[in-house]
């Protein structure tokens, strides 16, 4: 009697299970704030000061009392000059203070008038010059209030937050020379397949029939590095069970994750499944998405194992949708799933698939989405041409003008 195959697991269920296995890594590193881009905070950053430290000017111009300007019949004398990094004296009544961006507001001033709204005049009676204000200022205009950016004692960046360039600037603004981050995941990467050849090993004109260059190895390593991983490139493992078992056993000794591409289907030369099962456990096997059905997760000794399909687009898409969130959760990141937005399809997709599909598309000048004409899982050109994916539900056709869910590559490539 033929065994009944269980239904394929949905992407959402597979991702939920995958994230449940992704226990954040132990170990904290203190790194220079200069070098922390893309790392994940291991603890809250609490401000020991307020930013700005005092009221200051957001414009080059003149600090004034609004009442003095309202009652002035002519020119108000300039009583002092205040530059950033200096401190001024209290503003004398019926005078103005020349002030520059970032300079502290003198006591008594309640507005700043930008220099474009002032006319500078000099005379024998105004030895230091005078100003005629051409528009009545509003209370508080062009003044940045003390603590309006950061309040003393506030949490400015939270544990589990990704450190972006803006976040690094914020950390520096409160004096953080270094930050505590989770350690980098250690990932062993290898490909399986006797058909694989490394670029440079064989010239194109000398390639044997059936041989292909190993493209997956290049984009997978680049994606791992972008995610802050320490990558060990194990190379190409031949289509032999013993060789696959040995490669997995060695990689498990000092890595958090073993990532492979190829060999996870059900052919006679696909040895990943029995090799993993002989060394540990296989928890996930095949998911209901297109491209990317042959996907596997398990454990080899103490290391996580993820097996990606051999077809390049399948490998690329499953990495973005599953491996990236898994690695980000290992690093302690709280939000790991990408945002999608509604966009108008400028194409027809008349044949629905029973699996959830991810179509390579590109935004056009009108803001709609164009479809790459060849959606085969072997056409890596589609991932270069496109700038995102349409997340199309199972059994769903698309007609030009329909709203679809769009995931931009810049949401998932870092």
Strand partners, 190: 235, 260
pLDDT at 117 over 90: yes
- Angle of helix 241-251 versus helix 272-279 axis, rounded to 10: 50
Token pair for 136: 């009545």
Say whether pLDDT at 325 is over 60: yes
Residue 225: per-residue pLDDT? 96
Mean pLDDT across 373-380: 95
Model pLDDT for residues 219-266, shown as the tens digit of each residue: 999 999 999 999 999 988 888 888 889 999 999 999 999 999 887 665
Asked if residue 143 has pLDDT above 60, the reply is: yes
162 confidence band (pLDDT: 50, 70, 90): very high
Question: Which residues partner with 97 through β-bridges?
Answer: 63, 80
**Separation of alpha carbons 150 and 53, rounded Å:** 9
> Cα Rg for the chain, rounded, in angstroms?
31
Q: What is the mean pLDDT of residues 355-364?
A: 98
Question: Cis link prior to 30 (omega < 30° from 0)?
Answer: no
Residue 126 confidence (pLDDT): 46
- Report DSSP letters for 104-155, one per residue: BPPTT--EEEEGGGEEEEEETTEEEEEEEE-SPPPTTTTEEPTTSSB-TT-E
Q: What pLDDT does 210 receive?
A: 85
413 pLDDT above the threshold of 70: yes
Q: How many residues does the chain have?
A: 414
Looking at residues 8-19, what average pLDDT do you find? 95
Higher pLDDT: 414 or 185? It is 185
Q: From the centroid of its chain, how far is CA 167? A: 12
Q: What is the mean pLDDT of residues 397-408?
A: 98
Cα–Cα dist 214/216, whole Å: 6
What is the rounded average pLDDT of the residues 201-215? 87
Residue 6 has pLDDT above 50, yes or no: yes
pLDDT for residue 107 is more than 80: yes
318, 301 contact by CB (below 8 A): no
> What average pLDDT does range 72-76 have in this prediction?
84
What is the structure's pLDDT at 1?
47
| pLDDT at 254 (0 to 100) | 93
Classify strands 257-261 and 186-192 as parallel, antiparallel or unpaired.
Answer: parallel
Percent over 70 (pLDDT), the chain: 95
Query: What is the b/e burial string over 189-207, where b = at least 16 CB atoms within 10 angstroms of the residue's CB?
Result: bbbbbebbbeeeeeeeeee
Predicted pLDDT at 260: 92
Rounded to the nearest integer, the mean pLDDT of the chain is 92
Domains and CATH numbers, the chain: 11-26+184-330 (3.40.980.10), 28-48+151-182 (3.90.105.10), 56-144 (2.170.190.11), 341-411 (2.40.340.10)
DSSP 175-240: T-SEEEEEPPPEEEEEEE-TTEE-BTTB-GGGPPTT-EE--HHHHHHHHHHHTT-EEEEEEEE-S-
CB 188 within 8 A of CB 234: yes
Residue in 317, 97, 358 with CA at minimum distance from that of residue 223: 317
Q: Rounded CA gap, 388 and 339, in Å? A: 12
Tell me the C-alpha distance between 156 and 29, whole Å: 19
pLDDT at 2 over 60: no
The Cβ of residue 72 has, within 10 Å, a number of other Cβ atoms equal to: 16
Q: pLDDT category, 123, cuts 50, 70, 90?
A: low
């Amino acid at each position: 009697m033929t065994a009944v195959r269980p239904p394929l697991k949905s992407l959402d269920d597979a991702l939920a299970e995958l994230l449940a296995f992704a226990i954040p890594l132990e170990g904290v590193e203190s790194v220079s704030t200069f070098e922390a881009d893309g790392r994940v905070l291991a603890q809250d950053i609490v401000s020991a000061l307020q930013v700005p430290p005092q009221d200051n000017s957001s414009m080059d111009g003149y600090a004034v009392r609004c009442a003095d300007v309202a009652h002035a019949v002519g020119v108000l004398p300039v009583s002092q000059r205040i530059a950033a990094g200096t401190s001024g004296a209290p503003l004398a009544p019926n005078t103005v203070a020349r002030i520059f961006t970032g300079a502290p507001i003198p006591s008594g001033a309640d507005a700043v008038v930008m220099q474009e709204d002032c006319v500078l005049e000099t005379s024998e009676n105004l030895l230091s010059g005078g100003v005629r204000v051409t528009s009545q200022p509003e209370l508080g205009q062009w003044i940045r209030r003390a603590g309006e950016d950061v309040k003393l004692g506030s949490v400015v960046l939270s544990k589990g937050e990704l450190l972006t360039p803006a976040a690094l600037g914020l950390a520096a603004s409160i004096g953080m020379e270094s930050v505590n981050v989770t350690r980098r995941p250690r990932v062993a990467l290898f490909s399986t397949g006797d058909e694989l050849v490394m670029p440079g090993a064989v010239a194109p004109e000398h390639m044997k029939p059936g041989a292909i260059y190993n493209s997956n190895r290049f984009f997978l390593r680049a994606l791992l590095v972008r995610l802050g991983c320490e990558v060990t490139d194990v190379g190409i493992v031949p289509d032999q069970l013993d060789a696959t078992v040995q490669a997995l056993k060695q990689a498990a000794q000092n890595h958090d994750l073993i990532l492979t591409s190829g060999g996870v289907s059900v052919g006679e030369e696909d040895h990943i499944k029995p090799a993993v099962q002989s060394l540990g456990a296989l928890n996930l096997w095949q998911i209901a998405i297109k491209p990317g059905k042959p996907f596997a997760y398990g454990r080899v000794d103490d290391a996580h194992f993820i097996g990606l399909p051999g077809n390049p687009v399948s490998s690329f898409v499953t990495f973005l949708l599953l491996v990236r969130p898994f690695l980000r959760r290992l690093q302690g990141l709280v939000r790991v799933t990408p945002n999608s937005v509604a966009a108008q399809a400028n194409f027809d997709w008349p044949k629905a698939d029973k699996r959830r599909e991810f179509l390579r598309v590109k935004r056009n000048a009108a803001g709609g989405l164009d479809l790459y004409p060849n959606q085969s899982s072997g056409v890596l050109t589609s991932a270069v041409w496109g700038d995102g994916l349409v997340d199309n539900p199972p059994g769903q056709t698309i007609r030009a003008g329909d709203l679809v869910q769009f995931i931009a590559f810049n949401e998932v490539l870092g």
